[in-house]
Amino acid sequence: KAGVTQTPRYLIKTRGQQVTLSCSPISGHRSVSWYQQTPGQGLQFLFEYFSETQRNKGNFPGRFSGRQFSNSRSEMNVSTLELGDSALYLCASSGLATDTQYFGPGTRLTVL
């Protein structure tokens, strides 16, 4: 089975711009969770989607949003980028009746 894929792998943006990141889960997995990883804060939960519905959300401002499509692929959007949004954004997918999440390679976002 192919693993979780994320595109793009690297992004450089400037403050005030917006960005869209994409995540394709493992085939058959319907849950996709997003995390932000920074040296200071570690891995922090952003939100989780299941069957095109957001089921859970972390403590991030409304500038961070996401969606999921009928094929379980998910996108994450960050609007009005700030310097502090520079981070590694990881998505993870999991199957039914399991807590195990499998991570993609991440998208490294740099905001200048």
Partner 1 sequence: EDKVVQSPLSLVVHEGDTVTLNCSYEVTNFRSLLWYKQEKKAPTFLFMLTSSGIEKKSGRLSSILDKKELFSILNITATQTGDSAIYLCAGRLNAGGTSYGKLTFGQGTILTVHP
For binding to partner 1 (CB under 8 A), which residues are involved?
4, 31-33, 35, 42-45, 47-50, 55-56, 58, 88, 90, 94, 98-106
SS3 83: helix
Nearer to partner 1, 17 or 44 (CB): 44
Q: In angstroms, give the least distance from the CB of 79 to partner 1.
A: 22
Nearer to partner 1, 10 or 70 (CB): 10
- Virtual CA dihedral for 49, 43, 99, 27, nearest 10 degrees? 50
Q: In angstroms, give the least distance from the CB of 26 to partner 1.
A: 12
Q: In angstroms, give the least distance from the CB of 51 to partner 1.
A: 11
DSSP strand E in 14-106: where? 19-24, 31-38, 42-50, 53-57, 64-68, 74-78, 87-94, 102-103
Q: What is the CA radius of gyration of the chain?
A: 13
Nearer to partner 1, 4 or 11 (CB): 4
